[in-house]
Amino acid sequence: MIYNPECECMEPGARQKLQLANLKNLVETLYEKVPFYRARMDALGVRAADIHSLADIEKLPFTTKDDLRELYPHGLLACPKDRIVEVHMSSGTTGKPVVDEYTRKDIDIWRECMARTLAGGGCTKDDIVQNCYGYGLFTGGPGAHYGALAIGAEVLPMSSGNTARQLMVMRDFGSTMLTCTPSYALYMAEEAEAAGIDPRELPLCKGCFGAEPWSENMRKEIESRYGMKAHDVYGLTEIIGPGVSFECEAQRGLHINEDHFYPEIIDPESGRRLPMGERGELVFTTLTKEGTPLLRYRTRDITYFMDQPCSCGRTTIRMHRLFGRTDDMLIIRGVNVFPSQIEHALFEIEGTEPAYLIVVDRGAARLDEVELQVEVKQEFFSDETKGLENLRTKIQNMMKSKLQITVRVKLVEPKTIERSIGKAKRVIDNRKL
Ligand code: DLL
């Protein structure tokens, strides 16, 4: 279902006109209201009057996560403080969190984007949405909640954790749609199976999963474990939260809500814009936000755009599912590899469980060494060493042939790698880089 055909299926030329008008307004507002942006624009000698086309966006300055941290908590506010009605923050592991301050209109935009997102995942007013994204300062819970309400679905605001209760509610209330991180979806399936519940017998038949990197093979695992259709949803606190882009039923890339978030792909080294289809760093300008709008925000997320028509009828451009982040790309003895590529390869191998951990060290010869800890089905541990040895070799060969990296594989018993109810931690990098 398309939530807002007028906007989502708009002729691209008409959409670009709107984008340009909103971009000019934004540049004017930021120059007037946010001293940080005024100083940046003055330094580059650029003003709203210099923006004649969308391509002129290149004249404007970037914004980085470091800028946001320096301006914490209110340095990017572009409207009077008393117009703010809600605040969210990301739980960064280092330094100050990044903050999004929403006006009432910003919440309306978010609700609309999340309604489009859930509708893209098949949600209708008849659905019962079990929302297991965290509620609180994290944007996941409230974002999915607003979207489901806009559609008129019934929401179960579960938040994350307390898995036994999640399963009870899932069964007793007949939830038809699941929203949470993909790693938590798999964890719940595992716990259901352990409790003697077959997740495929539950009424759940669709889900919108995101907030962390996941692979195509992980999607297949979730879809087959539950017998459901699993859709990818992307977003980040700085831009609005979840709902920046989402998959439709075609599951061929994520439609960007580009009437609200103007997307670019740049070369992360030079900062230059890359042509359609080339892979690089994703950058967003918020075209319609009032509270804390951002100009050319460098997300550090890596993807590429697709502008071929989509079978669903939406005309918005799509981004490929994320490959990873510029800051989580591992460079192993000179070879670039994202954890999600390791995950994708791992899921191809029969006998492994969907839980793994990548531990990177700098070894004695000052060379990078990777230990890949992988959970293995219980049968392998009972049937002595030969099966385990074969599996270990198979994984090692797969990593070498598919990703050109040499890994030491440590096979571990089921349920020994820590599970996550939110964003999973997949990498421990002990190198002092
Ligand atoms: O994770 C917002 C969100 C909530 C998205 C619920 C989807 C669902 P932050 O905590 O600020 O916000 O983290 C944003 O998470 O820059 C990506 O690196 C990563 N990320 C988000 N969605 C995806 C996804 C939320 N679908 C950061 N695939 C982003 C891969 C994702 N990575």
**CA 241 – ligand 1 centroid, Å:** 8
Q: What is the pLDDT of residue 401?
A: 94
Domains in the chain with CATH codes: 1-325 (3.40.50.12780), 330-432 (3.30.300.30)
Is 23 in contact with 53 (CB distance < 8 Å)? no
pTM (2 decimals)? 0.94
Look at ligand 1, atom 20, and give the residue with the nearest C-alpha: 211
Look at ligand 1, atom 12, and give the residue with the nearest C-alpha: 236
Nearest to 299, CA basis, from 28, 62, 119:
62
Digits of tens for pLDDT over the chain (433 positions)? 999 999 999 999 999 999 999 999 999 999 999 999 999 999 999 999 999 999 999 999 999 999 999 999 999 999 999 999 999 999 665 678 999 999 999 999 999 999 999 999 999 999 999 999 999 999 999 999 999 999 999 999 999 999 999 999 999 999 999 999 999 999 999 999 999 999 999 999 999 999 999 999 999 999 999 999 999 999 999 999 999 999 999 999 999 999 999 999 999 999 999 999 999 999 999 999 999 999 999 999 999 999 999 999 999 999 999 999 988 888 888 899 999 999 999 999 988 888 999 999 988 777 889 999 999 988 887 766 778 899 999 999 999 999 999 999 999 999 999 999 999 999 998 986 6
**Phi, psi values for residue 313, rounded to 5°:** 100, -10
**CA 242 – ligand 1 centroid, Å:** 7
CA angle 338, 257, 58 (to 5 degrees): 75
What's the CA gap between 78 and 106, in Å, rounded? Answer: 12
**Ligand 1 site, CB within 6 A:** 90, 133, 139-140, 210-213, 232-237, 241-242, 299, 301, 322, 325
Q: Which residues lie closer than 8 Å to 234 by C-beta, 6 or more apart?
A: 210, 242, 244, 245, 246, 254, 301, 319, 322
Q: What is the pLDDT of residue 308?
A: 96
Helix (H) or strand (E) holding 31: helix 12-33
Q: What is the pLDDT of residue 229?
A: 98
**CA 212 – ligand 1 centroid, Å:** 5
Q: Which residues lie closer than 8 Å to 236 by C-beta, 6 or more apart?
A: 90, 244, 299, 301
What's the CA gap between 70 and 98, in Å, rounded? Answer: 10
Residue 357 CA: distances (Å) to CA of 74, 108, 290:
37, 39, 41
Token pair, residue 141, equals 């819970």
**Phi, psi values for residue 293, rounded to 5°:** -70, 150
Q: What is the pLDDT of residue 359?
A: 95
